[in-house]
Amino acid sequence: MIMQRLGSAYCCSCTPLCIFFSLLAVLLIAAGIAGLIIALIKPTTSTTSPAVVVITRSGDPIVGIYSTTAGGPTGASNGRYSNPGEMPPEAIDGLSSTKCLNFGVQGSPSAVLLGPGVGTSFYATPAISSASVEKGLLFASANDFPTRDPITVTLEIYSGPTGINPVAAPARSTYMLQQTFSNTIAFSSYRLLVTSQRSLSDAVQYAEAEILGYI
């Protein structure tokens, strides 16, 4: 590199190489400023997910089912109930003070059976939308007999817990933790099936089995 004497110091500002690096620095600074300006004036877009709401509601068409399995035929309809006030419509009426009780195909009052409520529950068609996307479940325990608690269920694409503690019986007539899952498929109807319950009992029961999702 050829340097020029300037007083007691050397300067390379006039050499071709120094001029090149100086121009490069100016270009890089200009590019950075331009990028910053573009970032500041570029409009921002945000994606907001639809609100999750209760899909199944009081008054929706609902039919009790029993004696079937996930992926199998619908099975027998209705089932065996203790009285008219403890049937499937009470599972989606929004009240933790009511309940749905199903003896299934084998159960009966005072019976001691393993999972008499397995393969029971309901088939519901929400009136709020003909194509809703399920995203979760919200169960509430019934008023008595913890042995009747459903512990796991299947719901179309979901298979897992209800939120009811399988070890320690929770308070009665109480909402459990909401269970959520990933899904993008819309459905017009839903079939919920109990796959396990707490222990030996005569039936299965729950105050609420609300299906949550987008409409």
Asked if 178 and 73 touch (Cβ cutoff 8 Å), the reply is no
At 21-42, the pLDDT tens digits run 666 666 667 666 766 666 666 6
Q: Is the pLDDT of residue 165 over 50?
A: yes
Calculate the alpha carbon distances from 173 to 55, 62, 160, 169 in Å: 21, 21, 21, 12
- Local confidence band at 169 (pLDDT 50, 70, 90 cut-offs): very high
One-letter amino acid at 85 equals: G
79 class by beta-carbon count within 10 Å (0-12 exposed, 13-18 middle, 19+ buried): buried
Rounded to the nearest angstrom, the gap between the alpha carbon of residue 92 and the centroid of all alpha carbons in its chain is 17
C-alpha distances (whole Å) from 54 to each of 10, 150, 195, 209 are 79, 20, 23, 10
- What is the token pair recorded at 55? 């899909």
Evaluate if residue 83 carries a pLDDT over 90. no
pLDDT of amino acid 108: 77
Distance CA 19, CA 14 (A): 7
Domain residue extents for the chain: 4-41, 53-214
Task: Provide the pLDDT confidence category of residue 6 given band limits of 50, 70 and 90.
Answer: very low
Q: Which fold has domain 53-214?
A: Jelly Rolls (2.60.120)
Residue 67's pLDDT band (boundaries 50, 70, 90)? confident
Q: How far does CA 158 lie from the centroid of its chain?
A: 9
DSSP helix/strand/coil, 185: coil
